[in-house]
Amino acid sequence: MTGLPWDASYLAGPAPWDTGGPQPAVVRLASEGGFTGAVLDAGCGTGDNALHLASLGLSVLGVDVAETALAIAREKATERGIAVEFAAADAFGLQRLGRRFDTVLDCGLFHTFDIDERVGYVASLASVTEADGTLYVLCFSDEGPDTGPHPVSHEELRAAFNPGSGWNVAGIQPDRLNTRYHDEDGAPAWLATIKRGADRAKHRRPVTHQLA
Ligand SMILES: C[S@@+](CC[C@H](N)C(=O)[O-])C[C@H]1O[C@@H](n2cnc3c(N)ncnc32)[C@H](O)[C@@H]1O
């Protein structure tokens, strides 16, 4: 939304997506008990979602490539006295964290990647998510007026998180994503709930023919 490299987006005041608070969809999901165990916020920006989840007592790691965003996130954590971790990490190499998570949040990151990039990102997410873990993707939707840049369709979400990639899409609900450039109702979004699952294609038993 800025057209700038990620870190530069954070240098001259708040970036367009940096609303200064957690996304209402994340707050609601958390109040419904959607986040459990160790939580990863992939592409956490200045950390408002991660900080909200950590303030509820969850163990949260927020990662981003933008050091300026991480510095702001750490400052907020200190000011608010919230125990939360922020670390520099590339979403395409999450396995390098050497950690695993029960719940993963992607708020506004997936929709920034091209179709070609999604395969690597989806595999990277799988590498750090527990076998029965859950991923939430909150992204701009291709439906409705005044959506954000890089809107995503149901089909694109299902294609990226297909069972062969080790994921199963449990549901995709219409939601809203707040930005600094939409009114208080935010932009049309999808909230996809995606379960980590066995790569059925790899584990499928070989077909055998029974003799009559
Ligand atoms: C649209 S912003 C959303 C930030 C935050 N989730 C929020 O809701 O405010 C996308 C974020 O992903 C980060 N990002 C982009 N590519 C990344 C990558 N390969 N690995 C980790 N973070 C990345 C950007 O620096 C940026 O902070």
Which pLDDT belongs to residue 187?
A: 96
Q: Please tell me the residue having the least CA distance from ligand 1 atom 11.
A: 43
Which pLDDT belongs to residue 197?
A: 84
* Rounded (5°) CA angle 42-139-24: 85
CB count in 10 Å sphere of residue 162:
15
Q: Are the CB atoms for 81 and 102 separated by under 8 Å?
A: no
Q: Please tell me the residue having the least CA distance from ligand 1 atom 27.
A: 45
The β-bridge partners of 107 are: 138
Ligand 1, atom nearest to 9 Cα: 25
Lowest mean pLDDT among 2-11, 141-150, 193-202: 193-202
| Residue 189 predicted with pLDDT over 60 | yes
Encode pLDDT of 20-73 as tens digits.
Answer: 999 999 999 999 999 999 999 999 999 999 999 999 999 999 999 999 999 999
Mean pLDDT of the chain: 92
| Residue 102 predicted with pLDDT over 80 | yes
Span 137-161, average pLDDT: 94
Ligand 1 — pocket residues by CB below 6 A?
6, 17-18, 43-45, 49, 63-66, 69, 90-92, 107-109, 112
Ligand 1, atom nearest to 90 Cα: 20
Q: Please tell me the residue having the least CA distance from ligand 1 atom 1.
A: 108
Measured in angstroms, how far is the CA atom of residue 211 from the centroid of ligand 1? 56
Predicted structure pTM score: 0.93
